[in-house]
């Protein structure tokens, strides 16, 4: 396919795109579903805080690994709201009406993508509240019994949740541009949310941790059921065998790896945005968005593999 950059006289001006962006942001701000998602996420923050999930040493030590868990409800509704907004033109008369206006589908999609700003800021608020709640108790706790470390949440850790929400919003638009069905969109959104929320433990480890759209800065290494003292001492903290994990876990807060995870998430969001734009009409400006996305995905993945301070034994089968 040859992408075409429309001549200046063929497309609406930047001021129209900016007006569309503003209109979509205002519309997102008025979405009751998004505010309900925000309330759901804040409720989890409150639950974790009142339960001492991040701050009480002992049985809850590994919960630090679930730092981004509260993002679930907000990310889910962000997907649904974006999907519904992108399917505004689904019935043929609506599609005809919108198609007969000067702004093309491409510009409309740019406006929709910019609407991500609203849930992203909501996500930032959620993690700001969580951060404040943890700091009010002093520090966050990682590990069990004699193998406990304490941390002040890093500024970087405020960003993971909001970026996951932004990615979810963009995914909602991309799915709408691929499958023009609200039902399919809702089912896919639910499955994605359930996967990352209820199965978050899977994404604690490599290799799945590398591909997670939402994970904490904690990386874990399986130490087996009878680790040596040297193995136990090699990690910032250790989790005891529990219901979910049969062996000991070596736990480390690895901020460089986490930063690269965030690069990966931005890359995925950019790739999804490029996909949504490509499905909205031909425009050469789509290509750089996709190229940047691909570069960030590769950088994020490759960088995590190189910087992960953990056992790379999972690579052996490869």
Do 64 and 142 touch, CB atoms closer than 8 A? yes
Chain residues 216-235 in contact with another protein, contact rule CB under 8 A? none
CA dihedral for 25, 31, 37, 39, sign (positive or negative): positive
Q: Under the criterion CB under 8 A, does residue 36 sit at the interface with another protein?
A: no
CB of 278 to another protein, least distance (A): 18
Is position 19 an interface residue for another protein (rule: CB under 8 A)? yes
By C-alpha distance, which of 172, 174, 173, 137 is closest to 153? 137
Minimum distance, C-beta of residue 84 to another protein, in the bound complex (Å) = 8
Of 20-28, 50-58, 245-253, 285-293, the segment contacting another protein by CB under 8 A is: 20-28
Specify the residue, 7 or 318, whose C-beta has the smaller distance to another protein: 7
CB of residue 197 to another protein, shortest distance in Å: 27
Q: Which of 2, 20, 86 is nearest to 282 (CA)?
A: 2
Nearer to another protein, 10 or 316 (CB): 10
| Least distance to another protein, CB of residue 131, Å | 34
The CA-atom distances, in angstroms, between 267 and each of 77, 91, 263, 301 are 21, 32, 6, 10
Q: Give me 312's structure tokens.
A: 């790379």
Which is nearest to 153 in space by CA: 250, 249, 68, 257? 68
Whole-number Å distance between alpha carbons of 113 and 184: 20
* Residue in 1, 9, 230, 243 binding another protein, rule: CB under 8 A: 9
Tokens of 172: 């909602």
The nearest distance, CB 282 to another protein, in angstroms, is: 10
Number of residues that bind another protein (CB under 8 A): 29
Least distance in Å: CB of 279 to another protein?
Answer: 18
- Binding status of residue 6 toward another protein by CB under 8 A: yes
Q: Which is nearer to another protein, 22 or 59 (CB)?
A: 22
User: Is the CB of 36 or the CB of 295 nearer to another protein?
Assistant: 36
**Which residues between 70 and 129 bind another protein (CB under 8 A)?**
88, 91-103, 108
Torsion of CA 9, 11, 17, 20, to 10 degrees: 130
Residue 300, SS3? Answer: helix
Regarding 18 and contact with another protein (CB under 8 A), the answer is yes
**DSSP one-letter code for 251:** E
Rounded-to-integer distance, Cα 221 and Cα 313, Å:
10
Q: Which is nearer to another protein, 103 or 121 (CB)?
A: 103
| Shorter beta-carbon distance to another protein: residue 104 or 235 | 104
CA 300/CA 268 separation, integer angstroms: 10
Nearest approach, Cβ of residue 16 and another protein (Å) = 5
CA 215 to mean position of chain CA atoms: 8
Residue numbers at the binding site for another protein (CB under 8 A): 6-7, 9-13, 15-16, 18-20, 23, 27, 88, 91-103, 108
């Amino acid at each position: 396919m040859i992408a075409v950059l429309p001549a200046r006289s063929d497309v609406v001006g930047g001021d129209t795109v900016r007006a569309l962006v503003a209109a979509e942001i205002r519309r997102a701000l008025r979405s009751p579903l998004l505010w309900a998602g925000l309330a759901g996420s804040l409720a989890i923050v409150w639950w974790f805080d009142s339960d001492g999930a991040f701050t009480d040493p002992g049985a809850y030590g590994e919960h630090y690994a679930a730092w981004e868990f509260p993002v679930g409800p907000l990310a889910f509704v962000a997907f649904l709201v974006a999907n519904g907004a992108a399917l505004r033109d689904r019935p043929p008369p609506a599609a005809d009406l919108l198609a007969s206006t000067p702004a093309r589908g491409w510009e409309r999609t740019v406006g929709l993508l910019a609407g991500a700003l609203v849930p992203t800021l909501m996500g930032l608020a959620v993690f700001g509240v969580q951060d404040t709640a943890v700091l009010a108790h002093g520090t966050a706790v990682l590990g069990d019994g004699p193998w406990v470390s304490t941390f002040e949440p890093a500024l970087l850790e405020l960003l993971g949740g909001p970026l996951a929400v932004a990615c979810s919003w963009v995914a909602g638009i991309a799915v709408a541009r691929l499958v023009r069905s609200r039902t399919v969109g809702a089912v896919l959104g639910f499955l994605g949310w359930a996967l990352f929320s209820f199965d978050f433990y899977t994404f604690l480890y490599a290799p799945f941790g590398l591909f997670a759209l939402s994970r904490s800065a904690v990386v874990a290494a399986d130490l087996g059921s009878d680790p040596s003292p040297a193995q136990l001492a090699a990690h910032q903290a250790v989790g005891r065998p529990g219901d979910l994990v049969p062996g000991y876990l070596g736990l480390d807060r690895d901020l460089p790896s986490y930063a690269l995870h965030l690069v990966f998430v931005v890359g995925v969001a950019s790739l999804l945005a490029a996909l949504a734009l490509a499905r909205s009409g031909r425009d050469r400006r789509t290509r750089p968005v996709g190229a940047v996305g691909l570069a960030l995905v590769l950088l994020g993945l490759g960088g995590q593999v190189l910087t992960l301070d953990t056992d790379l034994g999972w690579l052996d089968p490869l």
